[in-house]
Homo-oligomer: A and B are copies of this chain.
């Protein structure tokens, strides 16, 4: 089995891989991993290398392969599963969740919680981060609260330090910002530490919402509001899709699976006002 991921330093893929490995635990499958470091051309080269080794199946991340890579995947003599996103036109099978709808959900939460000048911090800006940020801005636009001055992103890698840096940059330009959606929990942790260093009152004066709900987030002081993504389930499900495709007895099996995403509301955002003001 081949497995291609864009990063091995991003905790998001760690949980995905845990799901993959748990799912193969009782099978005869073994996994070999290729890391393309967010480079589409490296991904293409690795797909070529892996297919050459005649794998039982191939799992790839996302839907943004190069044209040549997409062609190889469509003609592959083994089952192929795309992961982490949704698409109407998968190359073969796909399991993931809507990054865009997840971003919209965050916008709705911040608005419901009464924040009126929400901003955004994003790093790396891979296609999935871009999709969730687009969904977030669309959610803000719907209520007239999208403000380009409050959107701070960088193509550099995401990190806790980068979260603090981006928040400082944002506050220098728009000091009255009253909340931020951070496109992942590393950034959100860094933003929370920076807010603490500045003595900002979280969540009353300033709300922080992360994305992915990493293990650390629920243990922070205060614990971090975040979007819980089913990364582990995507990993497990990808293996299930491969196994179903390999098993002639499995009959008609789904080719597209979209999983749910939920918000984990914790101490870095205010309780939603609709709850407080209910009659």
* A contacts, CB < 8 Å to B: 8-9, 11, 13-15, 17-18, 21, 30-35, 37, 45-46, 49, 53, 159-161, 164, 186, 189-190, 193, 196-197, 215-216, 218-221
Nearest B residue to A220, CB-CB: B193
State whether A14 and B18 are in contact (beta carbons under 8 Å apart), knowing that A33-B33, A221-B197 are contacts in the complex: no
Q: How far is the CA of A161 from the CA of B219 in the complex (A)?
A: 6
- Contact check, A35 vs B11: say whether CB atoms are below 8 A apart: no
CB-defined contacts of A159 to chain B, threshold 8 Å: 215-216
Partner of A35, one of B17, B49, B160, B193: B17
Bound Cα distance A182, B195 (Å)? 26
A46, closest chain B residue (CB): B30
Chain A interface SS verdict (over half): helix
Told that A8-B13, A30-B46 touch, could you supply 12 new A-B pairs with CB distance under 8 A? A8-B8, A9-B18, A30-B34, A30-B49, A31-B34, A33-B33, A33-B34, A160-B215, A161-B218, A161-B219, A189-B219, A193-B219
Closest CB of chain B to A241's CB: distance in Å? 20
Residues B216 and A160 in contact, CB atoms below 8 Å apart: yes
Q: Is the CB of A34 within 8 A of B32?
A: yes
CA distance A46 to B45 in the complex (A): 23
* Shortest Cβ distance from A8 into B: residue: B17
**Which residues of chain B are within 8 angstroms of A37 by Cβ–Cβ distance?**
21
Assembly CA distance A49 to B45 (angstroms): 22
Collect the chain B residues with CB atoms within 8 Å of residue A13's CB. 8
CB distance from A202 to the nearest CB of B (A): 12
Q: Which of B15, B46, B164, B219 contacts A160 (CB 8 A)?
A: B219
CA–CA, A53 to B215, complex, Å? 36
Q: List 16 A-B contacts (CB under 8 A).
A: A8-B14, A8-B17, A8-B33, A9-B11, A9-B14, A21-B35, A30-B45, A30-B46, A31-B34, A32-B33, A33-B35, A160-B215, A189-B219, A193-B220, A193-B221, A196-B221
Distance (Å) between the CB of A83 and the closest chain B CB?
Answer: 15
CA separation between A32 and B53, bound complex, in Å? 12
| A45, B29: Cα distance in complex, Å | 11
Name the CB-closest residue of B to A49.
B30
The answer to whether residues A215 and B161 also contact, given A18-B9, A53-B53, A196-B221 and a CB cut-off of 8 A, is yes
